[in-house]
Amino acid sequence: MAYAYDTSNIFARILRGEIPNSTVLETEHSLAFRDIAPQAPDHVLVIPKGPYVTYDHFCAAASDAEIVDFARAVARVCAALGVEENGYRAITNAGTHGVQEVPHFHMHIVAGRPMGRMLEQS
């Protein structure tokens, strides 16, 4: 699948330093920051710095170094949030049916309360 990356999306602007963010972790290839509209006591977005639209795009097109860096960043964010005891939910939305708002691949790490069922009927 060929994804077209929109360089004007809000996370691209955060990466360019045009918009402030509440950084939790920054690595060579990844950035983690708090969601502006948290859905739980802890709600962190982990993003690659590269121009990937969705998770499958990232998994298909990113370098091994970027993928390892991202996975380790997720682990470090989980450790920083202290989720080992009570758990968390990792979510990544893609495209129209996934109801993706920002077209730069991101993983939501939400924690700090029970999350309820995985999907609601709509």
Listed in sequence order, the residues at least 6 apart from 89 whose beta carbon sits closer than 8 Å to its beta carbon are 108, 109, 110, 111, 115
35 is a contact residue toward ligand 5GP (CB under 6 A)? yes
Residues 77-116 close enough to bind ligand 5GP by CB under 6 A: 93, 99-102
37 is a contact residue toward ligand 5GP (CB under 6 A)? yes
Alpha carbon distance 72, 56 (integer Å): 18
33 is a contact residue toward ligand 5GP (CB under 6 A)? yes
**In this structure, what DSSP letter does residue 103 have?**
S
Identify residue 87 by its one-letter amino acid code.
G
Question: Binding segment for ligand 5GP among 28-36, 54-62, 63-71, 81-89 (CB under 6 A)?
Answer: 28-36
Q: Provide the mask over 40-79, with x wherever binding to ligand 5GP is found by CB under 6 A and - wherever it is not.
A: ----------------------------------------
Alpha carbon distance 77, 25 (integer Å): 7
